[in-house]
Amino acid sequence: MKTRAGLFSPRTVDNGTLAMLSVIEFEKDDKICDLGCGYGVVGLLAAKLVRPENVVMVDNDEQAIETAKENAAANEVSGVHIAHSDGFSGIRHNDFTKIICHPPYHADFAVPKMFIEKGFNRLALEGRMYMVTKRKEWYRNKLISIFGGVKVWEIEDYFVFMAIKKSDRYSNSKGNRGLRKI
């Protein structure tokens, strides 16, 4: 994989991304959104495991998009959709079975809040959102408030979250909808 200075984790794939990938099971018919794709590690791996035309990769950094496109060509993954977008604003795709992201978590919560709220609406029923951060409480609470439940794995110094869309609207239920809250 080609990368560039100024992009997230420019020397090697970061441990948080590896932790998140270790819990995701890709299915051939998945429709994937790599939200904040960076230079393309997650989206291109997904494109190799599912049909490339079922993978959408977005980032708000033009340099990241350029690099992801170069990596897609170098890895012979044609058909993957790579676009410049601020969150979901620049894409029309929806009904994703998996939205995967490693949001910026050293800043305020505006970006991950938008990813979670807008992501819920872009998922198909039974679709899953995966996130990885080093912060637990805010993400766990936000995902529960939107999805009604969340599963959390603690891997090294990271928390990997997975929430499943069970209805077409935000849930106010206090039930965990079959997911273990920790």
pLDDT digits (tens, 9 = 90+) for 102-158: 887 666 788 899 999 999 999 999 999 999 999 999 999 999 999 999 999 999 999
Q: Which domains does the chain have, with CATH numbers?
A: 30-164 (3.40.50.150)
Torsion (CA) 57, 60, 62, 66 in degrees, nearest 10 = -10
What average pLDDT does the chain have?
87
Evaluate if residue 171 carries a pLDDT over 60: no
Query: Is the torsion defined by CA of 24, 17, 48, 46 positive or negative?
Result: positive
pTM value is: 0.86
Token pair of 105, please?
A: 């978590």
Average pLDDT over residues 57-77: 91
Query: Is the torsion defined by CA of 40, 163, 22, 94 positive or negative?
Result: negative
Cα–Cα distance for residue pair 69/66, rounded to 1 Å? 5
